């Protein structure tokens, strides 16, 4: 039971550090949400402390357009 609590706390701390990295990079600065920007923010949050080791995750999305 104690191990589950410790793992839960570590996951929360990991994600909070990821959110802090996204805020420091200005990802929540009121820009419109596109596929690439939402993906980059999510990946930055999941990467957590790895952002401070030089990791700078970016996602490029190519969404197919409807035919005319």
Range(s) of the domain holding residue 42: 2-53
Question: Helices (DSSP H) in 1-68: which residue ranges?
Answer: 2-24, 35-47
In a domain, 67, yes or no: no
Radius of gyration of the chain (CA): 15
In a domain, 65, yes or no: no
- The pTM (predicted TM-score) of the whole model is 0.75
Distance of CA 58 to the CA centre of its chain: 10
Query: What CA–CA distance (Å, rounded) separates 23 from 28?
Result: 6
Task: Give pLDDT tens digits along the chain (68 positions).
Answer: 899 999 999 999 999 999 999 889 888 887 777 777 888 888 888 888 888 888 877 877 777 777 77
How many domains is the chain built from?
A: 1
Place of tokens 């589950």: 4
Looking at residue 5, its pLDDT comes to 94
């Amino acid at each position: 039971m104690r191990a589950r609590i410790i793992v839960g706390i570590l996951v929360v701390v990991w994600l909070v550090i990821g959110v802090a990295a996204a805020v420091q990079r200005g990802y929540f600065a009121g820009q419109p949400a596109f596929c690439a920007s939402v993906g980059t923010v999510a990946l930055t949050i999941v990467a957590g402390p790895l952002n401070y080791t030089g990791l700078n995750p970016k996602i490029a999305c190519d969404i197919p357009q409807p035919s005319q």
